[in-house]
Amino acid sequence: MSENIHRRFVNACDECRRRKVRCDSECMPNKVCSSCLSKGVSCRHSRIQQKRGPKRSGTTRIDASQPLDILVTKILQSTETNPFHVPDDKNAVRGILFNLALRLKTLEKELDYCRKNHVGLNGLEDSLATSLTALDSSPSSGSPDSEPDTSVKTSTLDEKDSVTDLSDALAQFTIGFPTRKIHFGESSNIMLVVSALNHRKELSLPEWKSVFARIRRPQFWEVPSSPLQPQDPNFTFPESSLMQKLVHYYFIELNVYCPLLHRPTFEKSIADELHLHDPGFGSLVLVVCAIGARAFDFYSGRKIFASDVGWEWFNQVSLEKIVFEQNLSLYHLQMLILSIWYLKHDRNRPNAGWMLTGIAMRVAQERGVHRRSVDDSKPTVEGELWKRAFWMLTVIDTRMSWVFGRPKATSTQDFDLSPLVECDDEYWETEDPEQNFQQPVGKPSLLSFWNCYTRLFEIVGFSQRTIYSVRKSELQKMDINNSEWQEKTVIELDSALNKWADSVPTHLRWDTPHINEFLFSQSAILYTMYYWVQIQIHRRFIPRPGQKSEVSLPSL
């Protein structure tokens, strides 16, 4: 009887062992027993099968399920007379090695994190203690599927490390195309490659590049060179004084309200004649001049944006060639964004801006601009410019999708970018590097407006995903009273708008005196947009004349 019971539980999973029922995991796919499958619980085998027989005398036996600190102590305390006994079970050995390697990797990451962030010794000790606790409380089966939680206040940091590792590693694989780094997200179905590359490093295998060079067949791997090499465009720029005037009007008319470029860096690059040597920057300068020409024309007395103003500069930019460039730079992305802005006034091409928005969003995502940087503590000029570009894209994407009534190219669930640093352009770089990106105390930053603006558009995005979604959510389907669900959603959106209004900084509130015309205009834009969003949320629930409203909302 006892022998039968032993056989029944010798390979049983944890759940079946606890319930003392027969486990059929040995004959089931992926070793998931039918009992766990039917209950929808995880089928784990944390208890390692021990071979029966007499114990060896004079040895320190080890159970792979023991905490790591005990395991390490026993290894270090082993002697010739009382040696550490390596388990006979290969799975147990693999479990021990896996957890030891995982512990080592965790300590390395924690040490590197502390060095980068100048964490003191006490912080390091606390961090490592938390790490060991997380490891010790985890199952020790050694299966990668049951990898313990090693996050120590840096879970997002570890996740970004693995994603960065994958992007770096795959950037080395080329088949004749120019090598360039592109972003691969955690959900990529080739994420397993990073594990394979890590395992390969541990094996005594020839370097893969040497193997590849020996076995590849050139006719299939090498891309034939084109006989016609692309020529740098021959741009015609405005003469110097006119260019300065157009650039000035661009910055005071658009950039102060939609911050994309950094004025000191941009004007210095023009002074260094970078636009004459770099086609990417040259195309950006031309689009800036085109937008500046419209602003200048407006202030000169016409008081209306004519679609043809600035066309002589904009028309030199070959968008169809640029979007398929192998190496799109920050200049190219900025140029695409400003092209969208310019084309929105072009009555002959009403859909051009919509199409370019999707392309620009894909360019940004390919570079990984939508993800928060691992080291986001110290801002840099280039890092902030990439962030400005993506935040600008999210706003344009949301506005356009609402104008056309079409789905957005991305949503707030798809990016975790931090807000812009609220520091005006002139304080980004100073003589003292320690003072870089430090806004003077008591002086409101013009960038506070944009962070408020983007938070407002997050509410817009939520309304698009709920009350205006084409496909209803499962919760909405389950709700018998659909009008009640809609009312709750609108109430939540109204509450979000109220919280947003309370979060507006004092210098941007409409009922507060403004110290200059820019802050006055920013405040006017914010509150105009606030009421516009309120209208967009409630307009769907305004009954037509003669109709009875389905909801009890005072929308009208």
Summarize pLDDT for 302-349 with one digit per residue, the tens.
Answer: 655 566 889 999 999 988 888 777 678 899 999 999 999 999 877 777
Where residue 23 sits, what CATH number does that domain have? 4.10.240
pLDDT at 276: 94
Bridge partners, 84 (sequence order): 60
Q: Is 353 within a domain?
A: no
Pick from 79-93, 329-343, 388-402, 517-531: least confident: 79-93
Average pLDDT value for residue range 391-410: 90
Residue 550 has pLDDT above 90, yes or no: no
CA nearest neighbour of 371 among 359, 383, 380: 383
pLDDT at 150: 33
pLDDT at 314: 94
Average pLDDT value for residue range 153-182: 52
Who wins on pLDDT, 266 or 160? 266
Who wins on pLDDT, 326 or 516? 516
pLDDT at 306: 62
Domain span at 483: 462-555
Q: Are 46 and 139 in contact (CB under 8 A)?
A: yes
Summarize pLDDT for 223-258 with one digit per residue, the tens: 666 555 556 778 999 999 999 999 999 999 999 999
Residue 210 has pLDDT above 90, yes or no: no
Number of domains in the chain: 2
Q: Is 183 within a domain?
A: no
Pick from 89-103, 287-301, 529-543: least confident: 89-103
CA nearest neighbour of 108 among 141, 150, 136, 75: 150
Amino acid at 303: K
Average pLDDT value for residue range 528-543: 91
Residue 15 has pLDDT above 50, yes or no: yes
Residue 68 has pLDDT above 70, yes or no: no
Q: How far apart are CA 63 and CA 51, in angstroms?
A: 12
pLDDT above 70 covers what percent of the chain? 72
Burial 533-546 (b: 16+ CB within 10 A, else e): beebbbeebeeeee
- For the chain, what is the mean pLDDT? 78
Average pLDDT value for residue range 518-526: 96
Angle of CA points 256, 262, 267, to nearest 5° = 105
Q: Is 182 within a domain?
A: no
pLDDT above 90 covers what percent of the chain? 34
Residue whose tokens read 């009555």: 347
pLDDT at 483: 77
Average pLDDT value for residue range 145-161: 40
Residue 259 has pLDDT above 80, yes or no: yes
Q: Is 290 within a domain?
A: no
Who wins on pLDDT, 257 or 128? 257
pLDDT at 327: 75
Who wins on pLDDT, 553 or 521? 521
Q: Are 248 and 266 in contact (CB under 8 A)?
A: no
Q: How many CB atoms lie within 10 A of CB 266?
A: 23
Q: How many CB atoms lie within 10 A of CB 153?
A: 13
Q: Is 266 within a domain?
A: no
Residue 143 has pLDDT above 60, yes or no: no
Residue 476 has pLDDT above 60, yes or no: no
Q: Is 420 within a domain?
A: no
pLDDT at 128: 43
Q: Is 166 within a domain?
A: no
Cα end-to-end span (Å), the chain: 78
Pick from 43-57, 255-269, 341-355, 453-467: least confident: 43-57
Residue 431 has pLDDT above 60, yes or no: yes
Average pLDDT value for residue range 203-225: 71
pLDDT at 442: 92
Instruction: Provide the 8-state DSSP code for 89.
Output: -
Q: Is 545 within a domain?
A: yes
pLDDT at 114: 63
Q: How far apart are CA 387 and CA 383, in angstroms?
A: 6
Q: How far apart are CA 429 and CA 41, in angstroms?
A: 55
Residue 131 has pLDDT above 50, yes or no: no
Q: How far apart are CA 537 and CA 531, in angstroms?
A: 10
Residue 366 has pLDDT above 80, yes or no: yes
Residue whose tokens read 């995903």: 465
Who wins on pLDDT, 543 or 123? 543
